[in-house]
Structure 1
């Protein structure tokens, strides 16, 4: 009985230390708020760095690319220069964003935006066309083969009429004896 009491006390102390340590880690300040990013031309200027970073992560994921796909590298500073417009892909992303906003305004409920003023995911977004590829692929459906979905049943006439030698609608050729 005395052993159980000791184990209970030790386990309780361990639990208390763990809870206090986790609370301390959660309450540590994140530092001063970062100034908004520079060079925003199509995104709302009121966005924070964290919000822009989240949006960029969504765009990169939708295109299956990384930051350096649109953003140039500053070799002198040995880092990515997010404000630079040196890469044409960055300007293309801006055009694509404007196109997406236009489509959503025209064909989807006006004002259907999230708390950041961004178009909600229920409308058209980058992934709608890109599907994780940097350049969307045009796919044209092929005519179904016999036996596939939408194919004619075996022996069915092609669209536009019956093949030569096919009996009239009654079944047997005219003048042929009826089978009962």
Structure 2
């Protein structure tokens, strides 16, 4: 006669084994995750590689998947189109001045709209500094124009200064009033702040594949807001 205690243990072992077998069978029956669809930039990457890139983008922009994707992940959206163009024309086509690759994080730094906060840091003016005001007067009388392309004050002869301003106009497809107040060219404006940021953080730090510095027209191509031309493609 088998002791009752042994019978109970045997039944328990059989039940546990059956549960484990059932879960194992279910795991084998579950289909593998579907491969990503509608890939137009990363078509050569595996699913894990694509998910790694997506994770990097989410972190860089401070958003979640729904920022670009709808319930149907393969469906086309305007932000997907923008992301592809950003990848093609910036991340893949430009380099840091030291030759290293650029990442979304380098510019966005956790913000979907990377200019929303950063540009305000470039809004310094000489209006409240008597020494700089006096310097401006002296330089004007000598035919030299003062401008701020970075955190350092730089001086350009008037002809070169106007040449630089004209290049901005052509690259962005705008006129002087886009950044300047009519009749008061030295006053601060949000677009001036943005221009300083772009000059310091982009033009001065990025290069094209041929090693030449990136210019405003390389990205803007006649649009004040480069994303506008992305949406049209």
Identify the structure with the greater helix proportion: 2
Higher CA-based Rg: 1
Q: Which of structures 1 and 2 has the larger relative contact order (alpha carbons within 8 angstroms, sep 6+)?
A: 2
TM-score range, shorter chain: 0.3 to 0.5
What TM-score do you get using the length of structure 1 for normalisation? Answer: 0.47
What TM-score do you get using the length of structure 2 for normalisation? Answer: 0.37
